[in-house]
Amino acid sequence: MSSVGEALRETAIINLTGAVTMVVDDSSFSAEITTSALLGFGIRTRRSCRSAPEAMAILQEVEVDLLVVDCEMPGMDGFELVSWLRRSGPPNAFVPVIMTAAHIRRSMVNKARNCGANFIVTKPFSASSLLERIVWVARDSRPFLEVGEYFGPDRRFRAGGPPGEERRSDVLRRAEFEAQKALAAANAVVAAAGVSQ
């Protein structure tokens, strides 16, 4: 897995300051955190919406460079919004989409992939992981395909797949393993000290 620094070095020519970005999230708190993280990279959020219908009205008229949308919203959810977006035609059918969710299950990953999203990240996300995904999406060269009901980026990753694994369970298991290993080593030291006395 490459580090954020390596990903940024490879893409140092990407200038995000002029990007027209829209954040769609029914939680004003989550939207504010996402907007603040984007601002930290020099990306000024031009539009922030609290519902999919509000976003749709804007997306029909205003071209955006990046859409960050929450998966789970009341009424029309983020998956439906992205599906609509991909079929909406100009000006935004091909815009890169990063979806966010508090709890990502395999079924959500499949829904995000099948609605035409470019990437899905778990909230709360670190600023560095969000930036890594934005840079990756900016460099994503997968062609758009129309197959049956699907229209969006090719769902198959060829060389240079998506950045890092977004699996918290793996991180937690590794941390638990490391803690158990450290405890076993400490117990061995205590046991050795007890034997030598």
If you search the block for the tokens 């890169």, which residue do you land on?
A: 96
Whether 140 contacts 153, CB under 8 Å:
yes
CATH class of 4-164: alpha beta
Q: Is the pLDDT assigned to residue 131 strictly greater than 70?
A: yes
pTM of the model: 0.73
Whole-angstrom Cα distance, residue 93 to residue 156? Answer: 19
Answer for the pair 130, 37: CB distance below 8 angstroms, yes or no.
Answer: yes
Between β-strands 66-70 and 21-24, what pairing exists: parallel, antiparallel or unpaired? parallel
Q: Are 23 and 49 in contact (CB under 8 A)?
A: yes
Measured CA to CA, the distance from residue 189 to residue 197 in angstroms comes to 13
Residue 135 contacts residue 14 (beta carbons within 8 Å): yes
pLDDT at 194: 66
Predicted confidence (pLDDT) per residue in 3-61, tens digit: 445 444 554 567 778 889 999 999 999 999 999 999 988 888 889 999 999 999 999 99
Q: Tell me, what amino acid is at 158? A: R
Please provide the average confidence, as pLDDT, over all residues in the chain.
83
* C-alpha 55 chain-centroid distance: 19
Q: Which tokens belong to 119?
A: 């990437």
